[in-house]
Amino acid sequence: MLVLVVLFPTFTFAAFFAMVFAVHSVFRRSPTAWKIAMVAASAVFYGWWDVRFCALIAASAAGNALVAWALAPSEGRRRSALLATAVALNLGVLGFFKYYGFFLDSAAHIVPDRDLPVLDIVLPVGISFFTFQALSYVIDVHRREIEPASLLDVSVYLSFFPQLVAGPIVRASEFLPQLKAPRPHRVAAGEAAWMIGRGLMKKVVIATYLAESVVDPVFDAPNAATTGETFLAMYAYAIQIYADFSGYTDIAIGIALLLGFRFPKNFDNPYRSLSIQEFWRRWHMTLSRWLRDYLYIPLGGNRGGSIATYRNLMLTMVLGGLWHGASWTFVVWGLVHGMALAAERLWTDVRSRRTLSQHSSQTDALAPLRWFATFNVVCLAWVLFRAENFDLAMEFFARLIAFDTSGATLDVSVAGPWLVIAGALAFQFRPDQLGQRLTTLLDRPFAVVHGAALGGWIAFIAAIGPEGVAPFIYFQF
């Protein structure tokens, strides 16, 4: 069970961050002391969950720092061998902790009469995130896109607590340059307050309400649900996972802003997308760019013809699905998205033969249909993502097409869940300038005004939200 300090929407974390911010204020003009303090704070943050795995992050930082130093002056085969070693070690650690049981279970079905070694392995929270960050660091050094950093800087980069357990996946080229200067005296407090407040509302109110009222009851026992309930649960989960994950990254970005760091944007209204390709440009954007730059393009990207492009899209999305979890449901979830991307690319190739004017007019006319199709493909795929196993996923899909209205356990005519879903979708289509204008407005008052406003907002959320805070969905990855 997760200890509350790693959950942002708790008073325990608020007390922890208040102490960290006080230390940050004292040492912000002394870069070395500040870095040591942040490594210590991150060790407390992560070690509060399980102190044993602090050694894992320390080993990752030390190992990748050493490889990066060795990479810098090397050439030719030695350089390639060092990179291969770093990639193998990082993926080996990730594979052991995350996929040992998965591969063991899969092997047991292939060779059922063999006694295979069984180990009780605890999955370190956030291992997928800091492993991908470590990989991007050594790969970028190998590509000569960045210079090797000190062990202390690498330790801060991999362990920085705001994004340690669930991202966003911040690249070394985005983070390390910000470490070179002392922490700024003036930070974007208004923007930080907006991000933290928005994230808390998403997680504590919207995601929790949908999970408890609709999603968990139906997904836990889909055979007991009607067709209307399964449709409601499917759409509710799409909103829940967005509110949950984007809520975490909003809070993480806001906390980082208060400490003088700017993290990359991770979500951009993904449910307004008109294609699966656009969806992945808007959903978990840091992972999408990571998969593109470190997997899809090295595989060959769109070079080598259409067949090679389709193959690379499929491989990238299948491996992206496996990154999310050690289960065949995640593999098939990635396969569905890969097939959809390949189908879209095929259709684009066919459409490109038409004139530009025909293409433009058709695109405008079909925009509502394209949105509807994209959103429902994404929602149907989310069923595989949420279901505990294939049997429950198949039961859920069967109920979707059963047109059964008997034995209802939920009252789908109740307006609450439907209004939340509709409101969340409508919010996706708000003008892009609205948030920018609000952020600019919030940057004007003094810090005490920001603090009072955020405090009042947190009190409001605590009043309307449920008791307790469930772990963020992406903690399991």
Annotated catalytic residues are: 324
**What is the rounded distance in angstroms from the CA atom of residue 196 to the CA atom of residue 194?**
6
Phi, psi of 418 (to 5 degrees): -65, -40
**What is the rounded distance in angstroms from the CA atom of residue 390 to the CA atom of residue 376?**
20
**DSSP secondary structure letter of residue 126:** T
**What is the rounded distance in angstroms from the CA atom of residue 343 to the CA atom of residue 365?**
20
User: Among 450, 171, 378, which Cα is nearest to 289's?
Assistant: 171
Displacement of CA 389 from its chain's centroid (Å): 21
**What is the rounded distance in angstroms from the CA atom of residue 90 to the CA atom of residue 88?**
6
Sequence-distant contacts of 54-59: CB under 8 A, at least 24 apart: 56/93, 56/124, 56/127, 57/130, 57/158, 57/159, 58/155
Cβ neighbours, 10 Å, residue 245? 24
Q: Is 418 exposed, middle or buried (0-12, 13-18, 19+ CB in 10 A)?
A: middle
User: Maximum CA pair distance of the chain?
Assistant: 71
**What is the rounded distance in angstroms from the CA atom of residue 130 to the CA atom of residue 128?**
6
Q: Which two tokens stand for residue 294?
A: 């470190």
User: Among 80, 71, 123, 82, which Cα is nearest to 100's?
Assistant: 123
Question: 358 Cβ partners below 8 Å, 6+ apart?
Answer: none
User: Among 16, 395, 53, which Cα is nearest to 224's?
Assistant: 395
**What is the rounded distance in angstroms from the CA atom of residue 57 to the CA atom of residue 158?**
7
Q: Which two tokens stand for residue 58?
A: 């320390």
